[in-house]
Amino acid sequence: MSYTVVFATVIAALALFWSTRRRGTISKIAGPPSPSWIFGDFHFVLSRMSALMIVFLGNMLQLLIPRQYGDNEFKWNKVYGSVYRIKECLGKDRLIVSDPIPMQYVINDPSFVPSPLLRAMYHWIYGANSMIARHGTTKNLNPAVLLIVFCTGDEHRKLRASLNPAFTAASVRQYQPVFLKVAQTITEQLNQSDALSIDLCPILSAATLKSICEVVFGCPTEDMGADFVNHNTQILHISSSQSTGQVLGGAICALLPQWFLHRAIYLPTKTFRACRTQLYLANREGRRLVREKTDAARLGLETDGDLYGVLCEWPLLLHMKALIQSDTKSIQEEDIVGQTSIITIAGQDTTANTLAFGLIELAKNPQFQDSLRVEIHAAFGTDRENIPYDNMPLLNAFIKESLRLYPAEALSDRTASEDVVIPLSDSITTTAGERLNQIHRIDVDSGWNRGGESTDKFRPSRWLDETVYQGEAVGPYANLFLGGPRTCLGVFEMQVFLCELVGNFSFSLPADHSARVIFANTLMPTNSQGEKWCKVSFSERLTPQAWY
């Protein structure tokens, strides 16, 4: 019996299983029709195996592998509203939500956790000790490190007070020299290039990794070792792929028990070998850094202000232990070490990709680019040490619009771990007249974001003319990060990088520009072949003498 026949038998059995399950009211919510198995409107060429698989993929290819990411979501929002149903793999129903009130509830409520497959992926890529891999059981986690990555609720409020020196808006500004130094290395690279246009993706990715190493670990990238950097890049490449087979494989994996998925990392495949090696290197380097900083703190030596140094400072650990000893264990070395992988992987390309998208949009709009450059030069004046980034309306409107249209996490899959009632801005009634008040599976879609008119267009002025929805918000930058009550150093990093680059260069689109937006764990710009790519033309601008 051929592999194709065996595969078809397995898929048919799974489809029959799901089709005979009792359907709830979610199936009666309005939404786009599931594509026909004829799939005449799909743009990619399907092999016979892909043709077999597409029968069972529902709307998932439209959602995850469209011609241009976002095209279908914006269309569906206009037709069906901010809460609608789609068909996922094997005939299951899924709700897509961009209404800010249920979004706020879902993101902040610990009852909603990442889907089983996402939790397994976090385990494979970030490690079992990473806070995001352990999300959903936060009651017994050590909140000291949880604050950095995924801290929630009372844990966040309690430890925010104890870690104020490292996390207040004023304290974050101490990292400006680091971000500026890294941004200036990009300027030097562009100045030294003889090319008229250049792919910024590898440059921005390397720069954001440098920033992470300096700000979080207190060391240059080189100190982490070439093997660590190379494997980090390899994992980014692996996690940034998306295919028809992966979509269906993910649906099948979601049916498997969590313990089995966790142990899948030991399978002898190229991908899992890369994951194991990357985790080993990340934990090795993280353990070295933590021990060095803990030993220095015990000797009374001051830290350099990096986040790992702050967490390892001995008096602070004792203070934190006194604060939280009633409801959790004291912080352990491995609690900090376990965050090394997620900080370097999740924090690198998210910021780099958003910067790349932003520079592409600036290249499309030279008039706004010139206005932004004028604002940057005026703000810098004669003092580059005290730059009022938060008082630069064009800069911040531009960053918000970049994050609105190109959010780092464009789609977040959440599953309810218990029965809950989710409030909605507008009531939803099924075709049978039943009122929907329980949602068991939900996707939080940050792309629409109540942005006012023409939400599918890049228009920074919407943040200046008060056309953005001003109702419920879900965090410091609304739902742009899907992070709820958390902040992100990446916003400040973007402010510094953009001021340096736009202040020194004029960007335009080259004749061969053909960037597409795809979703593969995060949004990223690609060329027509699906390779990560952000090619722009640039020229040096004359700047005021005070700029230097």
Q: Please report the DSSP string for 139-160 in residue order.
A: GGS-HHHHHHHT--HHHHHHHH
Q: Tokens in use for 148?
A: 């950095």
Q: Could you tell me which residue, 275 or 71, shows the higher pLDDT? A: 275
In this prediction, residue 429 carries a pLDDT of: 62
Beta strands in 386-515 (DSSP E): 411-416, 441-445, 476-479, 505-508
Least confident among 9-13, 55-59, 165-169, 525-529: 9-13
Tell me the pLDDT band of 548, cut-offs 50, 70 and 90: very low
In this prediction, residue 439 carries a pLDDT of: 54
pLDDT in tens, 191-202: 998 888 899 999
* Residue range 282-295: mean pLDDT, rounded: 91
In this prediction, residue 143 carries a pLDDT of: 37
| Cβ atoms of 415 and 113 closer than 8 Å | yes
Q: Could you tell me which residue, 340 or 165, shows the higher pLDDT? A: 340
Q: Could you tell me which residue, 353 or 172, shows the higher pLDDT? A: 353
d(CA 247, CA 231): 24
In this prediction, residue 149 carries a pLDDT of: 43
Torsion, CA 355, CA 361, CA 362, CA 363, rounded to 10? 110
In this prediction, residue 451 carries a pLDDT of: 55
Question: What value does the CA radius of gyration of the chain take, rounded to a whole number of Å?
Answer: 24
In this prediction, residue 170 carries a pLDDT of: 66
In this prediction, residue 146 carries a pLDDT of: 42
Cα distances (Å, whole numbers) of residue 512 to 162, 447, 535:
52, 27, 9
Crossing angle of helices 314-324 and 270-298, in 10° steps, is 100
Q: Tokens in use for 66?
A: 């469209």
Torsion, CA 296, CA 298, CA 304, CA 308, rounded to 10? 100
In this prediction, residue 7 carries a pLDDT of: 40
* Residue range 515-539: mean pLDDT, rounded: 84
Has residue 152 got a pLDDT over 80?
A: no
Does residue 24 fall inside a structural domain? yes
In this prediction, residue 493 carries a pLDDT of: 92
Does residue 481 fall inside a structural domain? no
Can you tell me whether residue 245 is helix, strand or coil? helix
In this prediction, residue 326 carries a pLDDT of: 47
Our count of domains for the chain comes to 1
Least confident among 167-171, 186-190, 357-361, 376-380: 167-171
Does residue 281 fall inside a structural domain? no
Q: Could you tell me which residue, 295 or 333, shows the higher pLDDT? A: 295
Tell me which range, 92-101, 139-148, 190-199, is most confidently predicted by mean pLDDT.
Answer: 190-199
pLDDT in tens, 469-516: 555 544 445 444 444 434 567 888 999 999 999 999 999 998 877 778
In this prediction, residue 253 carries a pLDDT of: 81
In this prediction, residue 361 carries a pLDDT of: 95
Does residue 31 fall inside a structural domain? yes
* Residue range 128-146: mean pLDDT, rounded: 53
Amino acid letter, residue 437 = N
d(CA 516, CA 500): 26
Least confident among 52-66, 143-157, 397-411: 143-157
* Residue range 198-225: mean pLDDT, rounded: 92
Q: Could you tell me which residue, 532 or 48, shows the higher pLDDT? A: 532
In this prediction, residue 282 carries a pLDDT of: 94
Element spanning 514, H or E: none
Q: Could you tell me which residue, 13 or 109, shows the higher pLDDT? A: 109
Q: Could you tell me which residue, 377 or 317, shows the higher pLDDT? A: 377
Q: What is the pTM of this model?
A: 0.80
Tell me which range, 156-170, 184-198, 321-335, is most confidently predicted by mean pLDDT.
Answer: 184-198
d(CA 480, CA 350): 12
What sign results for the dihedral spanned by CA atoms 376, 382, 387, 392?
negative
Give me the domain span that covers residue 424: 3-103+415-446+457-463
Has residue 41 got a pLDDT over 60?
A: no
What sign results for the dihedral spanned by CA atoms 506, 180, 396, 488?
positive
In this prediction, residue 360 carries a pLDDT of: 94
Rounded to the nearest integer, the mean pLDDT of the chain is: 75
d(CA 112, CA 506): 45
Cα distances (Å, whole numbers) of residue 55 to 35, 45, 52, 85, 248:
9, 15, 6, 18, 10
Q: Could you tell me which residue, 445 or 332, shows the higher pLDDT? A: 332
| Cβ atoms of 428 and 29 closer than 8 Å | yes
Element spanning 271, H or E: helix 270-298
In this prediction, residue 112 carries a pLDDT of: 79
With left for phi above 0 and alpha for psi between -120 and 50, is residue 259 left, alpha or beta? alpha
What sign results for the dihedral spanned by CA atoms 135, 138, 140, 144?
positive
In this prediction, residue 484 carries a pLDDT of: 40
In this prediction, residue 395 carries a pLDDT of: 96
% of the chain residues with pLDDT over 70: 69
Has residue 431 got a pLDDT over 70?
A: no
Least confident among 109-123, 233-247, 275-289, 478-492: 478-492
Least confident among 178-187, 199-208, 288-297, 352-361: 288-297
Residue 199 phi, psi (nearest 5): -80, 115
Tell me the pLDDT band of 135, cut-offs 50, 70 and 90: low
Q: Could you tell me which residue, 50 or 373, shows the higher pLDDT? A: 373
In this prediction, residue 207 carries a pLDDT of: 94
| Distant-in-sequence contacts of 311-314, Cβ < 8 A, 24+ apart | 311/144, 311/145, 311/148, 311/336, 312/336
